[in-house]
Amino acid sequence: MDQVLKNKFKSTYKQLNLEQKKAVDAIDGPVMVIAGPGTGKTHLLTMRIANILDETDTPPEAILALTFTESAVSSMRKSLTEIIGTPAYHVKITTFHSFANDIIKNYPDDFPDIIGSTNITDVDQVKIIRQIIDNTDFKKLKPFGSWYFYLPSIIKAIGELKRQGILPEEFLKIIQKEEKAFLAIKDLYHESGAHKGKMKGKYIDIQKNIDRNKELAIVYRDYQSILRKSRFYDYSDMIMQVMLVLESNNDLLLTLQEQYLYILVDEHQDTNSAQNRILELLANYHKNPNLFIVGDEKQAIFRFQGASLENFLYFKNLYKNVKLIALKHNYRSTQAILNAAHDLNSNTNKLIAKAGHPELPIKFYTFSTPEAEQYFLAKNIKELIEKGKSASQIAVLYRENREVIPIARIFEKVGIPFVIESDQDVLDDEDIKKLLIILKAVQKFGSDPELIELLYVDIFDIPPLDVYKLANLYKKRINPYDAIRSPEIMKEAGIETIEKLQDLSNKLSIWKNGAHNKNAIQAFEDIVRDSGFLMYILANPSAAEKIVKVHALFDQIKSLIKNHKNYTLENFFEYLDVLQEHNVSIRTMGLGQIPGRVRLMTAHKSKGLEFEYVYIINAVNGHWGSRRHHEPIKLPRQIYSLLNKINEQLASTSDEDERNLFYVALTRAKKEVLVTYSQRDQDNRDQLPSQFVQEIKTKYIERIDMTQQGIEFDKHKDIEFAPVLSVASTVKEKEFLNQLFLEHGLSVTALNNYLKCPWKYFYTSLIRIPESPNKHLIFGSAIHSALKSYFDRFMGGKDLKKEYLIQRFAESLAQKPIQEQEYREALNKGKIALSGYYDNYHNSWRNNILTEFNINGIQIDKDITINGKIDKMEFLSPSNHVNVVDYKTGKPKSRNDIEGYTKNSKGDYKRQLVFYNLLLNNYQNSKFKMISGEIDFVEPDDKGKYRKELFEIEPKEITELEKQIKVVAKEILHLSFWDKKCDDPDCYYCKLRRMMK
C-alpha cells in the first residue's frame, strides 16, 4: 500500500467505532460479527482486508471474500479499491457460485461429471422428470388423471436437496430413518372402536408425505443417473460437486487451503449447507482458521433457497474460541425506523441511530381500492421529485414480482422515470410478446392467422384498417400472403400502405429462408435487426431494461444450441410450449440503479441496498405475514440440520422469514418509510392490514386514513386511459451512458471498436446489443480456452501430451452455440492447427508463466479506468521481466499489417500490445516489467508454417496511446461522437444511429 493510500486507511480507521475497530484488528483466528442493517458491514469487510494487507505479508490473491450477489461483489470491490487501489482487483471477491465455477474451470480433471457436460435447460430437465414418471409405477407422485401434477415440486425438491449437499443414497437413508421413527410411535393406530386398527387421522398426512419422499428418492436417483449418461449437469450440481470433490480429494483441498490464507464471508445467515460445508473444508487446515463471518439472524430471508439460520449458528459451535463481536450503531436510518423494526424482532438488541436524520414516524396509509393506492403512490412520488428529491433515492418495495405491473403502468402515465430492478419473466414483457409474434409468423410462414397477428404489431406501422381489408380478402378467396406480394390486389382492395406491405413480404421470405438454412440464434439475430425491433426497443424509455430481456432470450437460444446443434425456430417454439405447460419462466436479472430513475424491486432484491425514501406497498395480511404455504412435497427437517440436535427454538419458520423480510424492507430507508394498503382487493374482497404493521408501537407510526382518496382517484380515473408521457430513452441519457462507461472502463477491444466506428463501440461495447458470435469468434474462443487449460496444467509441472490439448479444445467447442456442420468443420480445423502448433513449439514452452492474467481498474485519469486480460505472460530473467503473448487465430498477418502500415490495417494488433504495456506499467507499482510483446498465430500460413511476431514497445508508443485513450474517453463522456459517422458508407452501426429517433 503506497503512502497516500496508507494515510487514507489511517484516516478511515479513526472514524470507526469501537466494535468496528475490534473486528478490523482481529486479523487472526475465527471471528463472528453480528452486523445489523446500516452498521457498515461492507465498509468493515473492506477495512479488514486492507488491514490484513497492511499488517501482514499476505498477497491480495491469498484473500477470499465470499458473498451472495454480483452487485454485492461489485460494491465490495469498489469500496476496497477506494482504500487500497488496484490490488483490490486481485483479492478474490466472488459469489459462492462463481467461486465453485472457477474451481471447476481451473481443475477440470477433478470434475469429470461436469467438464465436457452441458448445463441442462429447463425443458430438458422437465423431459427427464417426465420420462422417469412415465416409466415408473409410482403410487403417490403419479396421481391418476394428472401424472405430472408433482413435477414442479419434484424439480424444486431435488434442487433443495442439492443445495443442502444431500446425495440420493443419503436422502434415502434419511427417509428410512424417519419412517422407522414414525412407525415406532406408540399411539399410531386406533386400539378400539369403529376404526380399530386404522391409522389415526393426525398421522395420515405424515405417512403420505413419507411415502412421497420415498418415491422422490427414486426420482432423484434416476434423475442423477440420466444426467450423467446424457452428459448434463444442473445449476445446483456445481456447488455440490465442489463440496463432494473437496471431501474426497485431499490434494485439491490442500492446494486451495494453501492458496487462501484468509477467508471472509458476508451475509452468512443466507448460506445453505453445501456452501457451509465448502467453507468448513477450506478452513479445517488449522484448528483456529482465519475465518471471518458476518451475518445477522434478523435478516435471514432466503430459506426458500436452502438457507438456514442453523448454518449461521453452526460455526459458533464449531469454533469454541471464536471472537464474537456485535455491531450496535446504525449509520443509515432514523431512530424511529430502527425502533419500529425492533418491534418486529424484540428479542434482539436495539440498534442506535447515528445518521442524524430528522425524526419522522413511519406513515401507514389506508386506501379503499388498489387503484386509489397506486394513484396516491404515483402522485406522492411525483411531488417528491418536483420538490428536488433525487428519483434514484426513492424505492418502491413489493412482495412479489407481479405487483410491479400496475405500478409501472401508472408511472408511465404520469411521466415518472423508473427502473425495475427485480427479476422478471421475459415472456411477460409486452415488447417481447411482439417479438415472439414476429418469430412465430416466420416459423409458421404461409399461415394466415399468424400473418394477420403480425400485421397488427405496431413496429411495422400498418394501419388497422389496412389489416382488416387484407383479412377480408378471404371472402374473395385471396390468400393474404398473395395479396401483400401483389400491388394490384392491394390497390384494388383500397389498401394504403402498399410499399410497406411489399417490403414486409420480401423480408418474411428472406427470414423464412434464413430460418431453414441457419441455426436459431442466427435467424433470431437477423429478425431482431432487420424487422426494426431493435430500433423500436432502443427508442423505448426503458431501453436498457428491454435490451437485458432480449439478451436473456438470446442467451436462452444459445444454451439450447449448445445441447442441440441443429436447433431451429420451430424447436424453440416447442421449447416455449413446454415452459408454458409446466409454468416455467425465463427469468432475467433486473437492472441496477440508473441515475434519475425511481427504483422498483421486491423486498428480497432490496437486501443490502439503501434509499432515502422507501414505499412498502400492498401491506396486506396473508401477503406480508400469515402467508398460506402449501408444499406438496415436504422434505424432512433433518436435511437442514448441521447441529447434532435441532434447536427447535431457533428453527426458522416461514412466518419468521416473512417477519425478517418486512424488517429488511423497513431498514432500507434512511429518512422516511411510507407503507400502503387497500381495504379491498382487485376482486372487491375485504383485506386486513399486515400483522407486522399492527405490531409497531403507536408512537413510531402515524396511521392515515385515505379512504376518501378514492373520491379523488375517481376524478382522475381517466388516467387509466391516458397516453404514456414521454420519458427519454435510457440509451440517450448522458448520466446513464457515463455510468456505463465508468462501470465498464475501457478495454483494448472497446478502444479499437471506437477507433473503427464510434457507433460500433456504442452498440457493442457500451450498451451491448445482442449479437450472435460468428463461427470465427467461436473457433477462436475454443482455441483460447484449450490453451489456457493446457498451460494451467503445464506450469504445474505436468508433462502433458498433444492429445490433452486437443481434447480440451473439443470439449470447449462442444459448449459453443454453433451449427452441426460448422461444428464439425471447426473441430477438424482446430485439431489440425493445434497438432501442428504443439509439434512446432512444445519443446520451447516455458512453465514459469501466468495465463489469462486479468488487470482491472487501472486509473489513468480521474474518470478513466482501463482493463484487460493477457493471454499469457512468460517470466524472463530477472524474475519480474515478462514477455506478453497474445494468441491469434485466422490467417497469420505480416509484420507491416500488425503495425498498421498496410492499406487496410489500423494497427489493432500492435495497439493491443502497447495497451498491455500501459496496463502493466500502472499495475501495482510496475510489479511486472514488460520487455516484449508477441503476437502468436495458432494457425499456420498457406505454406503450413507457424509464425510469431515479437515487438519491443517504445516509451513513445505508450505515451501516444495514453493520450489517445484520454481523447477517446473525453469524447465518450461528453457524447461528442453523437453526430459523427465512420468512413464506411455501409456501416451497420452507423445505420442503426441514423434510425435512432
Binding-site sequence positions for ATP: 35-42
DSSP β-ladder status, 849-861 and 394-398: unpaired
3-state SS of 287-325 is: CCCCEEEEECHHHCCCHHHCCCHHHHHHHHHHCCCCEEE
Q: Determine the Cα–Cα distance for residues 471 and 478; give it in Å rounded to an integer.
A: 9
SS3 992: helix
> What is the three-class DSSP state of 542?
coil
Q: What is the DSSP letter of 89?
A: G
Cell of 297: 439472524
Neighbouring C-beta atoms of residue 906, cutoff 10 Å? 12
H or E segment at 65?
A: strand 63-67
Closest to 760 (Cα-Cα) out of 473, 968, 901, 482: 968
Residue type, 629: H
Whole-angstrom distance, CA of residue 617 vs CA of residue 405: 13
Cβ–Cβ under 8 Å, residues 451 and 441: yes
Which of 384, 768, 740 is CA-nearest to residue 593?
740
Q: How far apart are CA 50 and CA 43, in angstroms?
A: 10
Integer-rounded Cα Rg, in Å, for the chain is: 31
DSSP code at position 49? H
- Alpha carbons 745 and 747: distance in angstroms, whole number: 7
Q: Select from 798, 797, 799, 795 the least CA-distant residue to 849.
A: 795
What residues form the annotated binding site? 35-42
Looking at residue 198, its amino acid is: K
Distances (CA, A) of 122 to 323, 586, 770, 930: 44, 9, 22, 47
Q: CA-CA distance, 524 to 515, in Å (whole number)?
A: 8
Nearest to 52 by CA among 18, 87, 19: 87
Distance (Å, rounded) from C-alpha 384 to C-alpha 842?
Answer: 67
Distances (CA, A) of 770 to 524, 585, 817: 10, 20, 14
Grid coordinates of 572: 424453440
Cβ of 618: how many Cβ atoms within 10 Å?
A: 22
67 touches 358 (CB < 8 A): no
Nearest Cα residue to 518 out of 565, 452, 476, 473: 565
3-state secondary structure of 424: strand
Q: Is the separation of the CB atoms in 395 and 613 below 8 Å?
A: yes
Longest dimension (CA), the chain: 102
CB contact burial 571-597 (16+ within 10 A = b; e otherwise): bbeebbebbeebebebebebbebbbbb
Strands 291-295 and 262-265: parallel
Is 556 strand, coil or helix?
helix
Helix, strand, coil percent content, the chain, rounded in steps of 5 = 55, 15, 35
Q: Crossing angle for the helix pair 908-921 and 748-756, nearest 10 degrees?
A: 140
**CA distance between the termini of the chain:** 49
The identity of residue 588, as a single letter, is T
Residue type, 30: P
Cell of 653: 419458520
